[in-house]
A and B are shown apart, each in its own frame.
Chain A
């Protein structure tokens, strides 16, 4: 059903005015149960009508009230003389009904409050758990990536095709130490750092391989990784590996004065 269209037909107004035929009236009542929008609209119409009619009120003569309540009293008294329990029971019933409805209202509002409170708590717990879950997932990912890296490192270090070249500190940096894993067949080069000093942002380390007496660039790196770092593939026949400090991005030829570590390939 198109609620908007239904409302704009004016059927709710006609319902409020009590001007619908029985069947239409029942249909409106059924729809009111189904659509909260209709209930909201109905309440607004009723409110408008009430305000309008309050403005158009005609004050009854005060005597009218007296005579009305006299009639009501008389009806009650006659009900007492003739022992019909219904009339007196009516008042008692209303007292009871009022008390019951107040009690009911109190209980329901307490329950509503209580449920709202519980709902709020549940909501905040859910948010907390969702956040924890996300944190856990991201931790798990980090660990997983780290594990992948370590597995790869292990594959390199345990593979007999890779020869390990120990690069010891030069006179520039006596305590420095690094290792190169080099597979002459696949030409892969991996680097691991044991001890290198931290550089300023302008500078980077550069790895060189000496092949046939000439330095070959094997790539630049920062001193901020764990495990093995894959460097550029170099040709075969490397005799020595060395690391120099160069301006960020590296250079074509090594600055020998800044050489940190170096080591010769030991042919097995």
Chain B
């Protein structure tokens, strides 16, 4: 339990924070995510994917649910949004230094259209459907670009 938190809290907070873009809300959601994980871990089915993927989907859904809540639309008007977005990016930056290879540098090696999809999804927190709608791309194109990007990253992240 503690292991899961120590190991994955950062990655999951990154995802949640990018969707919500508000620190307090993101941390609140992260707590909910872990409580949900403890609660439902017996429904995790290893044949359907890795534990991290399962946790990630809980986190993502929890965060997206939150964006539809009253709390979220109310909070939207408060002004510290940009500050937190900056902090997310800065944290990411700190993390990159520790990791040795900069994440942004890594993504910059991808072809522009693939980098864009990864950026929108993993760093800005949009779903594939949202990206397709927002940027007027066929969903199939978003999917195949995501596929190519993930394939490319597979080699880069080795």
- Pair from one complex: yes
- Chain A residues close to B by CB (< 8 Å): 7-14, 16-19, 29, 32-33, 42-61, 64-65, 67-69, 71-72, 75, 93, 97
Q: Which of B1, B9, B96 contacts A60 (CB 8 A)?
A: B9
C-alpha gap A54/B10 in the complex (Å): 7
Q: Which residue of chain A lies nearest to B96 when distances are taken between CB atoms in the complex?
A: A55
CB pair B154–A57 under 8 Å, yes or no, is no
Chain B residues bordering chain A, tally (CB within 8 A): 56
30 A-B residue pairs with Cβ-Cβ distance under 8 Å, sorted by A, are A10-B143, A10-B144, A10-B147, A13-B146, A13-B147, A13-B150, A17-B146, A29-B48, A33-B47, A46-B49, A47-B50, A47-B154, A48-B153, A52-B118, A53-B11, A55-B99, A55-B103, A55-B106, A55-B157, A56-B18, A56-B92, A56-B95, A56-B103, A57-B14, A58-B14, A58-B91, A60-B9, A60-B13, A64-B30, A67-B31
CB pair B128–A14 under 8 Å, yes or no, is yes
C-alpha gap A38/B56 in the complex (Å): 20
Give min CB distance, B44 to chain A, whole Å.
11
CB pair A72–B48 under 8 Å, yes or no, is no
A residues within 8 A CB of B42? 93, 97
CB pair A68–B143 under 8 Å, yes or no, is no
CB pair A68–B106 under 8 Å, yes or no, is no
B residues within 8 A CB of A17? 57, 60, 121, 127-128, 146
CB pair A61–B47 under 8 Å, yes or no, is no
B residues within 8 A CB of A55? 92, 95-96, 99, 103, 106, 157
Give min CB distance, A21 to chain B, whole Å.
10
Give min CB distance, A98 to chain B, whole Å.
11
C-alpha gap A54/B38 in the complex (Å): 21
CB pair A68–B5 under 8 Å, yes or no, is yes
B residues within 8 A CB of A45? 150, 154
B53 at the interface (CB under 8 A from A): yes
Additional A-B contact list (10), CB under 8 Å, known A13-B143, A17-B127, A51-B157 = A7-B147, A16-B53, A47-B154, A50-B53, A53-B11, A54-B11, A55-B106, A56-B15, A56-B123, A57-B95
Q: Which residue of chain B lies nearest to A56 when distances are taken between CB atoms in the complex?
A: B14
C-alpha gap A35/B51 in the complex (Å): 21
B residues within 8 A CB of A49? 52-53, 56, 150
Q: Which residue of chain A lies nearest to B94 when distances are taken between CB atoms in the complex?
A: A59
C-alpha gap A10/B132 in the complex (Å): 14
Q: Which of A11, A42, A53, A56 contacts B49 (CB 8 A)?
A: A42
C-alpha gap A61/B87 in the complex (Å): 12
Residues 38-76 of B, flagged 1 when their CB comes within 8 A of A and 0 if not, give 100010000111101100110011000000000000000
Q: Which residue of chain A lies nearest to B146 when distances are taken between CB atoms in the complex?
A: A13
C-alpha gap A188/B33 in the complex (Å): 102
Knowing A9-B140, A19-B127, A56-B92 touch, does A64 contact B31 (C-beta < 8 A)?
yes
CB pair A8–B144 under 8 Å, yes or no, is yes
A residues within 8 A CB of B14? 53, 56-58
CB pair A71–B103 under 8 Å, yes or no, is no
Give min CB distance, A36 to chain B, whole Å.
12
B residues within 8 A CB of A16? 49, 53
A residues within 8 A CB of B123? 56
C-alpha gap A55/B11 in the complex (Å): 8
CB pair B95–A14 under 8 Å, yes or no, is no
Q: Which of B90-129 contact A (CB under 8 A)?
A: 91-92, 94-96, 99, 103, 106, 118, 121-123, 127-129
